[in-house]
Amino acid sequence: MKNSKEDIIESVYFIIKKSRNGRRITAKQLEKEIGDKYKVHYALRHLLKEHKIKKVRGLGMDRIDYFYQITNMTSH
């Protein structure tokens, strides 16, 4: 399989890790980069379950939004 589930999970994790330099990343932004809403949400659920990322509630442009960050345990 060209786009296996593991590849999608690794891609989402890499994008979140890459954006750590002060920029917060939302599921919408991930969907734009990956191109598939369902694969992004699958990867986010998987990464949250493994405690590799965390979901942070914060203020977006015009409402409350959720952002994803790498957890401190895996940021090395």
Q: Domain limits at 17?
A: 5-74
Q: What is the pTM of this model?
A: 0.81
Query: Count of domains in the chain?
Result: 1
Q: What is the pLDDT at residue 15?
A: 92
Amino acid at 31: E
Question: CB–CB of 25/66 below 8 Å?
Answer: no
Distance from C-alpha of 48 to C-alpha of 62, rounded to nearest angstrom: 25
| pLDDT confidence bin for 13, thresholds 50/70/90 | very high
CATH of the domain at 18: 1.10.10.10
Residue 65: strand pairing partners = 58
Task: Say if residue 1's pLDDT is above 60.
Answer: no
Task: Show the beta-strand stretches assigned E in 1-76.
Answer: 53-59, 64-70
- Residue for token digits 């990464």? 47
Tens-place pLDDT, residues 32-74: 999 989 999 999 999 999 999 999 998 877 888 899 998 876 4
Better-scored residue on pLDDT, 37 or 23: 37
